Amino acid sequence: MLRVIQAIGLTSNPRKESPPAVDDVSFEACAGRVTVLLGASGAGKTTALRLMLELQHGRGVTYFRGRPLRRIAHPSREVGVLLGDVPGHPARTVRGHLRMLCAAAGVPVRRADEVLEAVGLVSLRDERLGTLSRGMDRRLGLGCALLADPHTLVLDDPAAGLSARESRWLHGTLRAYAVQGGTVLLTTADPKEAARVADHVVTLEHGRLVADQQASDFARTRLRPRVAVRSPHAARLAALLTKEARATHRSVEVVHEGGNRLAVYGSTCAVVGDTAFRHGILVHQLADEIGDMGAGAGAGAGAGADGDADDEEADGTDAATATTSVAGGNTAAAAAGERDRDHCPAGRPEAAEVAAEEGAESAQPAHSSPAPRPHLRADPGDALSPLPPPISVRSAPSPLRPLRYEIRRTVGIGTVFLTGAVVLLVSAVTAVILARVGHTPQPRLLAAWPRELPLPPAALGAGLLGALAFGDEFRHPALAVDRGTVPRRLGLLGAKLLVSAVVALLLAVLTVGCDAEVLHVFYGQEFSRVPADWVALSTGWAGLVIGCAWAGVLAAGVFRSTTAGLAAVVTVPVLVVPLVREVWDGGSVRTAAGLPLRVREVLLAQWPFGGERYVAAALRALGQPVAGALALSLTALLCAYLLTSRRGRVR
């Protein structure tokens, strides 16, 4: 049996005096099986997944088909991940979110529609993420994980908060995925859910591995059989059962689960039914079930019991059909001929096995993906859910894929348009007020830049949009800077810088045009004339807004915070500009005054088509303190970004 996931010695970093949340956990998950990490709340399940996906610092290593995640060029094509809620912008549409992730993973955009059909969200494709119910959010999260047709699914408690119907759909989809040859690893706190769904159960308790078993062994050794009873006279029946057990010296535990439900441990349906019949008690349900893990099972067992109660009440089943079969979740795998498998041995992969795995991959063309799994279409009455067809992913060396992703990310929500509208409004009002007050030069008037403010509204708006550029990457693990699905981090950075520059330049042009038009309406032709040195002014204006946008992008990427990105934009004129001006114009033996003119004399010969004028204008703009401060800040931020990217790659 192919061992797809091998987690070895996972240990989280302890906090102060507390023990680590995960301590030396090792287990394996094989292809064609559903493996469940079971444990109560706080057992370390989520931390173990984050350590496996290298989203949290710690010790240990995890191999995905013989390779750690950092050595996989396209992680989203190997591992589909769902941790918590779908981490998308709440204003983005369902279809827009999937199309953005398609561009990030380099898969055809039609894949979004195929996944929407497979997870049953076609009718909700234009809904906003913030309006989705819990069940629809789970469906979308599974669709995001399936988008790049990965070989492995890693899901953190995917059925939490779902109704019985949604849970059955989810489990059927995961079973279908495993039958096709995929590997499924999920976490749960409900032992009965683990017994129904899993082929293999790994139990954690207080961060340590306490059991690693086949599902059948888990159900036999870790779960207790019980009799589920539903009666309008539940309290009376519970008292009679307890009295008879005490009289006959039998060990029977009767648990009142709320409403008209009882759970009887240590008895049989025949005994409970005979007691109810002899005392004339009406019984609505009488069925054998698999219960919790006994005393000390934690809140997860109780949650599972409540979930089963909802399941049975929603279905309206009788005693015969309500009987829970432990092997029911494994029926499909048995039909596929996989029930006779042996347990995957634990431990580090052998060198020959890893070399064979890498050799098989290197034998494939560089532009092809791993061999796709056969597609399975379930019949309407089948328990298995249909999955989207497999895809053939081809790598594109051009930077158009990150650029396409960034464009979809930028225009997929109304933040850009709303910010632009606010900037235009504030800029127009400021320009009218400055013109009425007077004493403001025309260039600053057109830019709505009073001397009392460090930056004009357009530059602040461009910096804000730049700082928001990495927002989706912070929320989505698959798009994180340290583990990006866009194949080149520098390609992603270049796309963000290009798109932010275009947006900032467009915002600058619209701002000047809007201010000039408003001034012409209020005060006539006097304030809307084109300045004589418009080339130098335009160059400096464009450089200012683009520099602010780039400062926001780089600072947000370095510090992984939108607030830090915007703070860097404001820091340049408030702190860096005075420092540069002091160094530039301060008293010394030699000054840098006249630097643009001297550079022009040294470098500028006769340029064709009069190009020396534009180069001279650019040099004059660069000689200004604001431009010099921006250039200095951008250089420092770019170096810091490259350093952090390199350090993350080495780690």
What pLDDT does 621 receive?
Answer: 55
> Which residues are registered as beta bridge partners of 62?
7
Question: Band of the pLDDT at 22, cuts 50, 70, 90?
Answer: very high
Least confident of 238-242, 288-292, 321-325, 400-404: 321-325
- Are 45 and 187 in contact, with CB atoms under 8 Å apart? yes
CA 325, distance to chain mean position in Å, is 35
pLDDT tops 70 at residue 132: yes
What pLDDT does 319 receive?
Answer: 33
What backbone phi and psi angles, to 5 degrees, belong to 223? -110, 155
More confident: 647 or 111: 111
Least confident of 100-109, 139-148, 454-463: 100-109
> What is the Cα–Cα distance from 156 to 81, expressed in whole angstroms?
8
Percent of the chain with pLDDT over 90: 31
Spell out the domains of the chain, with CATH numbers in brackets: 31-51+73-218+333-339 (3.40.50.300), 224-321 (3.30.70), 400-650 (no CATH)
> Which residues are registered as beta bridge partners of 61?
8
What pLDDT does 105 receive?
Answer: 81
Three-class DSSP category at 103: helix
> What is the Cα–Cα distance from 493 to 641, expressed in whole angstroms?
9
Q: 359-415: per-residue pLDDT in tens?
A: 434 333 333 344 444 444 333 334 456 788 887 655 544 566 788 888 988 888 888
Q: How are strands ordered across the β-sheet holding 3-12?
A: 25-30, 3-12, 58-64, 67-68
> What is the Cα–Cα distance from 55 to 243, expressed in whole angstroms?
55
pLDDT tops 50 at residue 543: yes
Encoded tokens for 87:
């981490």
> What is the Cα–Cα distance from 632 to 265, expressed in whole angstroms?
73
pTM here is 0.71
For the residues 26-32, what does the mean pLDDT come to?
93
- Are 435 and 523 in contact, with CB atoms under 8 Å apart? yes
pLDDT tops 90 at residue 331: no
Neighbours of 501 (CB within 10 A): 19
pLDDT tops 90 at residue 639: no
Q: How are strands ordered across the β-sheet holding 152-156?
A: 79-83, 152-156, 183-188, 34-38, 200-205, 208-214
- Are 227 and 269 in contact, with CB atoms under 8 Å apart? yes
Number of separate helices (H) and strands (E) present in the chain:
25, 14
Percent of the chain with pLDDT over 70: 71
Question: Band of the pLDDT at 160, cuts 50, 70, 90?
Answer: confident
Least confident of 30-39, 114-123, 474-483, 626-635: 474-483
pLDDT tops 90 at residue 476: no
Q: CA quadruple 497, 499, 502, 507: dihedral positive or negative? A: negative
Return the residue matching tokens 């890893």. Answer: 354
Encoded tokens for 199:
């082929």
Return the residue matching tokens 């050595």. Answer: 71
Question: Band of the pLDDT at 280, cuts 50, 70, 90?
Answer: very high
Encoded tokens for 67:
């390779």
Question: Band of the pLDDT at 645, cuts 50, 70, 90?
Answer: low
Three-class DSSP category at 152: strand
Three-class DSSP category at 524: helix
Residue type (1 letter), 611: G
DSSP 213-248: EEHHHHHHHH--EEEEEE-TTHHHHHHHHHHHHHHT
Question: Band of the pLDDT at 522, cuts 50, 70, 90?
Answer: confident
Helix (H) or strand (E) holding 618: helix 612-622
Residues 6 or more apart whose CB falls under 8 angstroms from that of 148 comprise: 74, 76, 77, 80, 105, 107, 391, 393, 485
Return the residue matching tokens 């698959």. Answer: 478
DSSP E strands, 231-336: 253-256, 261-265, 285-290
Return the residue matching tokens 């059991």. Answer: 211
Residues 6 or more apart whose CB falls under 8 angstroms from that of 346 comprise: 26, 27, 28, 212
- Nearest Cα neighbor of 202 from 33, 339, 363 is 33
Encoded tokens for 316:
């309206």
Question: Band of the pLDDT at 296, cuts 50, 70, 90?
Answer: very low
* Angle, in degrees to the nearest 10, between helices 612-622 and 534-559: 50
- Nearest Cα neighbor of 372 from 150, 177, 69, 107 is 150
- Nearest Cα neighbor of 581 from 569, 593, 570, 590 is 593
Residue type (1 letter), 632: L
What backbone phi and psi angles, to 5 degrees, belong to 231? -150, 145
Neighbours of 334 (CB within 10 A): 12
- Are 314 and 204 in contact, with CB atoms under 8 Å apart? no
Highest mean pLDDT among 31-40, 290-299, 366-375, 590-599: 31-40
Least confident of 82-96, 462-476, 511-525: 462-476
What pLDDT does 113 receive?
Answer: 93
Q: 175-225: per-residue pLDDT in tens?
A: 999 999 999 999 999 888 898 899 999 999 999 999 999 988 888 777 878
Residues 6 or more apart whose CB falls under 8 angstroms from that of 124 comprise: 94, 132, 136
> What is the Cα–Cα distance from 42 to 365, expressed in whole angstroms?
44
More confident: 138 or 473: 138
Three-class DSSP category at 154: strand
> What is the Cα–Cα distance from 573 to 463, expressed in whole angstroms?
12
Q: What is the mean pLDDT of the chain?
A: 76
DSSP E strands, 406-556: none
- Are 551 and 466 in contact, with CB atoms under 8 Å apart? yes
What is the C-alpha R_g of the chain? 32
What pLDDT does 182 receive?
Answer: 92
Question: Band of the pLDDT at 531, cuts 50, 70, 90?
Answer: confident
> What is the Cα–Cα distance from 462 to 101, expressed in whole angstroms?
25
Encoded tokens for 355:
């070399």
What pLDDT does 390 receive?
Answer: 80
